[in-house]
C-alpha cells in the first residue's frame, strides 16, 4: 500500500492545554473494541472511573460527556488517561484525530482535518509551499475500486492540484478546475450526468441561495450559522485573503476530490469543494489567528457533519456556475 499525504501531515503535534477549541469538548468519544478490552480489567480508581463513564449504544461504545466535555479532560487542559496510563490507553479515534484516511485500491490518501485548531494553522502556514509525501504504508488493507475510474479521477485530481498551485489568480484557478472536472464527469458518467447550468445568476439570487443553504444545515452551536453565513454577508472580500484562500482550496481538493472514485459524483463533490472554499474565503481577513478560527469553525460545524456535506452536494451539483462561483466575487 502507498500512502500519499500533504507534507504538513507529518508535522502535526497536538498542542493540548494550549488549544482554545479542544476536540475533547462537544464531540462523542467513541471507544474501539481493542481499547475497550484494555479498560475491562484495568485496576485502580481510574479504571473504575473509565468503566463508569462508558455508554453502550447501537453505534458502539463511547465515553459519556459531562457538561459537554470529555470527563477525562482535566482543569489543566490535559487528558487524565494519557497522563496516568500513557497514550496506549486512549481510543483509536483520540490517537488518530485529526488525521483522516481514504483508501482506494492500493492507495491511501491521508491528511489532517481542519476541525483541529493546530491542523488548521499548519494548513494555512505550510513552510516551503504545498507539497506531498508518498511512502509505503503498514496497517492498511486494500479496498476494491474500479481501476479505470480511479485512473481517470487521479489524473484529474493531479491536474486540479497543479492548477491550484501554478495559477496565481484564485478565481482563474477555480474556473480551470471546473473545466477539468466537467470533462471528468463526462468521462465517467457520459449522458447520465445531471446537466450543469452555465447561466450566471443575479446577485440577489446568490445571496438568497447562501441564506437558504445556511438555513437548511445543522449546527452544534447555533451562533455559527450567523458567524459563517449571515454576518456581513454583503461585505466585499478582502484582497489580502487570497493566499489563505488558495490553501483552503488545496485542503478541500486533497480531502474530497478522490472521493469521486467511490461514487462517481464529480459535480456534487466539486460543488461541495467550491462552496466550502467560498464560504471560508468570504470570511478570511489575512490575519492568521482569525483565519484559523473561521477555517476550524466551518470544518467542525459543516464539514464534519455528513448530513451537511450531503445537503451541500445535492444543492450545489447543478448550480456551480449560477450560485457558487459568484460567491467568490460578491
Ligand atoms: S483540537 Fe487538535 S490541537 Fe486541540 S486538543 Fe484536539 S488534537 Fe489537540
User: What integer pLDDT is reported at residue 128 of this predicted model?
Assistant: 77
> Quick check: 196 pLDDT over 90?
no
Give distance in angstroms: CA of 78 to centre of ligand 1: 11
How many angstroms separate the CA atoms of 326 and 318, rounded?
Answer: 14
19 CA closest ligand 1 atom index: 4
pLDDT (mean) for 224-231: 84
Q: Which residues' Cβ are closer than 6 Å to ligand 1?
A: 14-16, 19, 22-23, 97-98, 116-118
Choice from 81, 98, 293 to test ligand 1 binding pocket (greatest atom count within 8 A of CB): 98
pLDDT class for 232, splitting at 50, 70, 90? Answer: low
User: What integer pLDDT is reported at residue 236 of this predicted model?
Assistant: 61
Of residues 267 and 203, more confidently modeled: 267
pLDDT (mean) for 107-117: 97
Output the nine-digit C-alpha cell for 1. 500500500
pLDDT (mean) for 53-74: 93
How many angstroms separate the CA atoms of 214 and 208, rounded?
Answer: 10
In angstroms, how far is CA 231 from the centroid of its own chain? 23
How many angstroms separate the CA atoms of 205 and 323, rounded?
Answer: 8
Output the residue whose Cα is nearest ligand 1's atom 8: 14
Choice from 8, 19, 295 to test ligand 1 binding pocket (greatest atom count within 8 A of CB): 19
User: What integer pLDDT is reported at residue 283 of this predicted model?
Assistant: 87
Give distance in angstroms: CA of 97 to centre of ligand 1: 8
pLDDT class for 83, splitting at 50, 70, 90? Answer: very high
For 215, the enclosing helix (H) or strand (E) is helix 203-216
Output the residue whose Cα is nearest ligand 1's atom 7: 14
In angstroms, how far is CA 65 from the centroid of its own chain? 24
Long-range contacts of 211-216 (CB under 8 A, 24+ apart): 213/275, 213/311, 213/312, 213/315, 216/311, 216/315
User: What integer pLDDT is reported at residue 55 of this predicted model?
Assistant: 94
Give distance in angstroms: CA of 16 to centre of ligand 1: 6
Torsion, Cα 111 76 56 68, to 10 degrees, reads -90
Report in angstroms the alpha-carbon separations of 252 from 172, 235, 277, 293. 17, 24, 7, 17
Amino acid at each position: 500500500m502507498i500512502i500519499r499525504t500533504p507534507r504538513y501531515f507529518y508535522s502535526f503535534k497536538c498542542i493540548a492545554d494550549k488549544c482554545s477549541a479542544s476536540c475533547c469538548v462537544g464531540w462523542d468519544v467513541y471507544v474501539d473494541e481493542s481499547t475497550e478490552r484494555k479498560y475491562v480489567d484495568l485496576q485502580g480508581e481510574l479504571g473504575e472511573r473509565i468503566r463508569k463513564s462508558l455508554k453502550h449504544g447501537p453505534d458502539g461504545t463511547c465515553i459519556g460527556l459531562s457538561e459537554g466535555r470529555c470527563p477525562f479532560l482535566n482543569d489543566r487542559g490535559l487528558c487524565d488517561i494519557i497522563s496516568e496510563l500513557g497514550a496506549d490507553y486512549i481510543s483509536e479515534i483520540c490517537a488518530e484525530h485529526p488525521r483522516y484516511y481514504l483508501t482506494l485500491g492500493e492507495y491511501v490518501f491521508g491528511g489532517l482535518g481542519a476541525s483541529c485548531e493546530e491542523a488548521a494553522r499548519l494548513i494555512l502556514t505550510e513552510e516551503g509551499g504545498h507539497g506531498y509525501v508518498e511512502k509505503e504504508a503498514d496497517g492498511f488493507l486494500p479496498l476494491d475500486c474500479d481501476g479505470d475510474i480511479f485512473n481517470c479521477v487521479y489524473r484529474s485530481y493531479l491536474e486540479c492540484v497543479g492548477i491550484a498551485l501554478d495559477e496565481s489568480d484564485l478565481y482563474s484557478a477555480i474556473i480551470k478546475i471546473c473545466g477539468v472536472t466537467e470533462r471528468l464527469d463526462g468521462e465517467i458518467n457520459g449522458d447520465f450526468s445531471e446537466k450543469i447550468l452555465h447561466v450566471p445568476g443575479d446577485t440577489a439570487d446568490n445571496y438568497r441561495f447562501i441564506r437558504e443553504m445556511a438555513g437548511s444545515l445543522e449546527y452544534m452551536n447555533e451562533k455559527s450559522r450567523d458567524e459563517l453565513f449571515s454576518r456581513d454577508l454583503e461585505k466585499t472580500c478582502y484582497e489580502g485573503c487570497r493566499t489563505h484562500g488558495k490553501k483552503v482550496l488545496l485542503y478541500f481538493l486533497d480531502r474530497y476530490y478522490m472521493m469521486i472514485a467511490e461514487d462517481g459524483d464529480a459535480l456534487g463533490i466539486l460543488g461541495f469543494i467550491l462552496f466550502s472554499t467560498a464560504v471560508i474565503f468570504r470570511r478570511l481577513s489575512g490575519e492568521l489567528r482569525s483565519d484559523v478560527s473561521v477555517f476550524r469553525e466551518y470544518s467542525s460545524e459543516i464539514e464534519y457533519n455528513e448530513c451537511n456535506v450531503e445537503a451541500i452536494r445535492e444543492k450545489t451539483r447543478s448550480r456551480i456556475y449560477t450560485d457558487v462561483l459568484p460567491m467568490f466575487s460578491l
